[in-house]
Amino acid sequence: MLSRTADHLYWMARYTERAENMSRLLDVSHRMSLQLPGAEIGYWGAALGITGLEPVYTAKYGPITGANVLRFMAVDLDNSSSILSSLRSARENCHAVRGTVTSEVWETINTTWLEARDSVSAKLQAGGPESALVEYLEWVKFRSHLSRGVTVGTMLQDESFHFIRLGTFLERADNTARLLDVKFDELAPKEGEGNEYYEWGALLRSVSAFEIYRKVYRDVITPRRVAELLILRDDMPRSLHSCLKEVHQILALVANARSDETRRRAGGAYSRLQYGRIEDILELGLHRYLTEFLDDTADLGNRIAQDFLVPMS
C-alpha cells in the first residue's frame, strides 16, 4: 500500500489511543485530587509533567489550578496534545484515507470529532461544571473503545489493518510507560504514609486494572505488584509486555526489504519484557528502566516511519 496511506492510518490510531490515555491520566489526577484535598496542585503539576507542556501552560494560564489544567489538557486546541486536538488529528488523518477504511470506521472517527467539538467541548470551554468534564473523559474513553471495536469488527485484516494496530500498540506502550513513570515518581517516596491504597487504586483504575489486580494477586496493593502488572504481565491488555508483543508480531506481518533491523530491535525490547524480572527492574530503578523503555519505543517509532511511512525514496 501507499506509504502515505499507511502513515495516515498509523497516526489516526495513535491519536485515538493518545486521546483515550490522556483521558485516563486526567481521570486519575481528578480522582486523587478529590480524595486528597490539599495535595491537588502536586497531582495536576505531575499531569502536566507527563506531556512536558508545563511552559506552554504557564505562558497561557499562569499558576497551576485543577480547573485550568483540566481545560488545557482536555479541550484547549492551542495545546496540540489536548484530547480535543488529538481527536481532531485522528479525524484529519482518517479523512485523508477515507476510501481505505470502512465507512463504519470513518463515521465513528468523524462523529467523535464533530460531537466533541460541538457539544461536549462547548460546555467545558465556557467553564462548565466539573461533572461535565468527568462525563467528557468517560465519553472519550467510550468513543475510543468504539473506534477500536469498529476497526476490528469491520476491516479486512490486510496491511491497512496492521498499520492501524501498530499505531495503537506503540502509542499505548508509550502512554502506559509515561503514566507509570510520573505516578511512581510522585507516589513511591510517600510509602507508609497511609494514603497509598487510594493512590495506587486510582492509578490502577486509570488503566482499567483495579479489578484485574484483585483477580491476579488477591492481596493488598503494593507498588511492586502494580509495576509488575503494568510492565511484565503478558495477559494484561495495557501492559508494556502485551503492547510490545503486538508490535513485534505486526512488524513480522508488514516486513519489507529494509525493515529487518527494526524488527530485530522490537524483538529485543519484547524479549526483555518477556524474560524480565521485577526485582531486577526495581534494582535498576524504575525511572531509569522506563526512560530506557521510552527511548526504545521512540526509536521504534522513528524506524517504522523511515522503513514504511515516509521513506526518502
Q: Which spans of this chain sit near other proteins (rule: CB under 8 A)?
A: 1-6, 91-92, 95-96, 98-100, 103, 106-107, 110, 113-114, 117, 159, 163, 254, 256-258, 308-309, 311, 313
Q: Which cell goes with 285?
A: 530503578
For other proteins, give the closer residue by CB, 163 or 184: 163
User: Least distance in Å: CB of 235 to other proteins?
Assistant: 31
- CA dist., res. 296 & res. 177, Å (int): 11
Contacts of 305 (CB under 8 A, 6+ apart): 7
User: Least distance in Å: CB of 72 to other proteins?
Assistant: 22
User: Least distance in Å: CB of 229 to other proteins?
Assistant: 35
Question: What residue has cell string 473506534?
Answer: 147
- CA dist., res. 38 & res. 144, Å (int): 33
User: Least distance in Å: CB of 174 to other proteins?
Assistant: 22
> Quick one: angle between helices 103-115 and 83-96, nearest 10?
150
- CA dist., res. 277 & res. 115, Å (int): 44
End-to-end CA distance of the chain: 15
For other proteins, give the closer residue by CB, 21 or 147: 147
For other proteins, give the closer residue by CB, 190 or 258: 258
User: Least distance in Å: CB of 266 to other proteins?
Assistant: 16
User: 10 Å Cβ neighbour count for 192?
Assistant: 7
Q: Tell me which residue of 304, 4, 310, 6 sits closest to 158, measured CA to CA.
A: 6
For other proteins, give the closer residue by CB, 241 or 303: 303
For other proteins, give the closer residue by CB, 69 or 309: 309
- Are residues 166 and 251 in contact, defined by beta-carbon separation less than 8 angstroms? yes
User: Least distance in Å: CB of 226 to other proteins?
Assistant: 38
User: 10 Å Cβ neighbour count for 182?
Assistant: 23
Give the HSE-up count for residue 214: Cα atoms under 13 Å, Cβ half-sphere: 6
For other proteins, give the closer residue by CB, 13 or 254: 254
For other proteins, give the closer residue by CB, 78 or 292: 78
- CA dist., res. 73 & res. 87, Å (int): 12
- DSSP at 219: S
Contacts of 266 (CB under 8 A, 6+ apart): 244, 247, 248, 251, 300
- CA dist., res. 172 & res. 14, Å (int): 8
For other proteins, give the closer residue by CB, 3 or 195: 3
User: Least distance in Å: CB of 20 to other proteins?
Assistant: 21
User: Least distance in Å: CB of 169 to other proteins?
Assistant: 17
User: Least distance in Å: CB of 114 to other proteins?
Assistant: 7
For other proteins, give the closer residue by CB, 222 or 256: 256
